[in-house]
Amino acid sequence: MKRNVLSVFLSVFISVFLWVAVGECNSDAYRGDYKIRSPLLFAKKDKKHKHHKKQDAYVYYYYPAAHIYFSPEKKDWFYRKGDKWKKAKHLPKHIRVHDAKHVVVRTGTDQPYLFFDAHKAKYAPHAARLKREFHYYPVYRVYSSPDQKSWFYQKDGKWKKHKKLPKHIRVQGAKYVVVRTETDQPYLFFDAHKVKYAPHVAKAKRKFHYYPVYRVYSSPDQKFWFYQKDGKWKKYKTRPHGIRPGKTDYVVLSAESDQPYVYFKKHNAKYGAGYGRRYTYYPSDRVYFDARDKVYFYPHKKGWKKDKKLPRHIRLKDAETVVLYLDEDRPYIYFEGR
């Protein structure tokens, strides 16, 4: 009797265990707040999930010298423009990788540039560097890119890139040096190029006309005039009074600077002191007139005043005049001696 009861008990226990283990019941059993799953069902779901995560590897060609990627399967290129990566069927014209060395890399994503930092560190030392060619003009300190057909020049202390040079920079026929860099910004090496190539290139000469009598310079190319005003040399677009084109004598000079008056003392000593500034002096009214600047100097209170018009009480009609040539833009300092 005891044996029969024990056998029945064991049979029931084994049946319950197998029912839970094998998972004959498709629904999940709940006990309180806890969910109980069949171990076999759990194992099958994990296997499916693991298989779903697995991805195929993508193959790319990485060009260390140019820092770009190519997908031989989809024929796509990946390159940087500014701080962002671009995807295109063709590379920009300024990037050339013909016959350049590449490395085969495999990634688990269709965005290979996500691993760029690692690839750059790993492959750069073993890759041939890609060189870009520029023409450097030492005299004018500008660069040209034959491939991009663009120019690089300085303006207000900053480098500019443009299809054309400013009008005041003329490099036609000037000598240049071929330089090769790993970047599309050649001016990053300007300090080195300036030191290396400047001594071997003759400095450019600019042409000026110097009028010794009037102590005036002109730039026939830029159509500017240089003469003193208030004790300082200044640049003007208008021709000073007294100079007549084709009738006033001048000397053709060549200078390395665009400010010819820095050589004034040398020119003054070589070509003559000239007559200085011309003033018309009216002794009866004690008035000076500067014909070049068209201004008057007359006594005012305890000093002298400079103005384009005279006050009403001063009338110069039919007054006697004396022509004076003075090396001074303040003629009244000689008044006591007149």
Q: Which range of residues forms the domain containing residue 103?
A: 58-126
Residue 281 in any domain: the answer is yes
- Among 200, 231, 258, which residue terminates a domain? 200
* pLDDT the model gives residue 222: 79
Does 116 share its domain with 138? no
Residues 77 and 120 in one domain: yes
294 is a domain residue: yes
Q: Is residue 45 part of a domain?
A: no
- Per the CB < 8 A criterion, the answer to whether 212 and 274 are in contact is yes
d(CA 311, CA 275): 29
Best CA proximity match to 180, nearest among 125, 143, 220, 230: 143
DSSP string, 230-299: TTEEEEESSPPTT--TTTS--EEEEESSS-GGGGHHHHHHHH-----EEEEEETTTTEEEETTTTEEEEE
Predicted confidence at residue 85, as pLDDT, reads 94
Please tell me the pTM assigned to this model.
Answer: 0.30
Whether 15 is in a domain gets the answer no
| 3-state secondary structure (DSSP) of residue 90 | coil
Instruction: Choose one of 158, 174, 200: the last residue of a domain.
Output: 200
- pLDDT given for residue 69 in this prediction: 93
**Is there a single domain that holds both residue 144 and residue 91?**
no
Cross-strand partners of 207: 254
The predicted structure's pLDDT at residue 275? 60
Q: What residue has token string 């029912």?
A: 19
pLDDT given for residue 37 in this prediction: 47
Q: What is the pLDDT of residue 308?
A: 92
196 and 236 both lie in a single domain: no
Residue 243 domain-assigned (yes or no): yes
Q: How many domains does the chain have?
A: 4
Which residues of the chain fall below pLDDT 70?
Answer: 1-9, 12, 15-56, 99, 124-130, 199-204, 242, 245-248, 272-276, 327, 336-338
Q: What does the pLDDT read at residue 280?
A: 87
- As a whole number of angstroms, the distance between CA 50 and CA 240 comes to 90
Is residue 174 included in any domain, yes or no? Answer: yes
89 and 138 in a single domain? The answer is no
89 in a structural domain: yes
In a domain, 28, yes or no: no
Tokens at 21, concatenated = 């283990």
- Of 221, 255, 271, the last residue of a domain is 271
